Every structure is written in C-alpha cells, then in structure tokens.
Amino acid sequence: MKSIADFKRAMKPGTFWSCTHQYIGAHPSAPKELGTRECLVSNTVSFGFRTVSDSVSFSNWPKKAEFSVEGDTVVITKAGFCTLRYTQENK
C-alpha cells in the first residue's frame, strides 16, 4: 500500500486488520494492541470495525497529512492526539 486510495481499496467489509492505538497528546501512552478486527463498513467518508460488544467502531478516512506507510502497515497520525496503525491480515 502506498496511498490513501490503496488503503480504501483494501479496507473492504470482511477483511481483517491488526490494530494498535497510541495516545501522543498531553499524556502519551504506550501502544495498546487492539487485536485483529473485522472490517464491517467501508463507505465514502468512513470505515468501521466490529467491536468486542458486536457493535461498529467508526473512523473517518485520513487526510493526506495524517497518512503514512511503514512497510505493510498503514499509520494514521492525528496531530496532538493519537496514532493508529493498521496491518491487513491474511484470513
């Protein structure tokens, strides 16, 4: 994956992604492993993963300035707030 368009094409319902979350704001934290989650929703403005309680956790697509790629991992950095990392799993 090299672009947001590649990320959007890959983030399809039924695909599985390994996810981590790390606060980087006023109170930084160590990365929190969120486990492997299934994409349930992918539309023009957002994507959503199945949660432990079987609901949907939505995220908006990143802006160009928030998006980067490290190997096969997509990194979304919300300035002053958090970093999200997504790696597609082969399931």
DSSP string for 33-64: EEEEEEEEEE-SSEEEEE-TTS-EEEEEPPPG
pTM (2 d.p.): 0.89
Are the C-beta atoms of residues 38 and 86 closer than 8 Å to each other? no
Mean pLDDT of 10-21: 97
pLDDT band at 37 (very low <50, low <70, confident <90, very high): very high
Q: Which CATH class is domain 4-89?
A: mainly beta
Residue 74 backbone dihedrals phi, psi, to 5 degrees: -90, 130
Residue 86, pLDDT above cutoff 80: yes
Q: How far apart, in whole angstroms, are the C-alpha atoms of residue 84 and residue 35?
A: 12
Q: Which two tokens stand for residue 19?
A: 């996810």
Is the per-residue pLDDT at 55 higher than 60? Answer: yes
Q: Judge whether residue 52 has pLDDT over 70.
A: yes
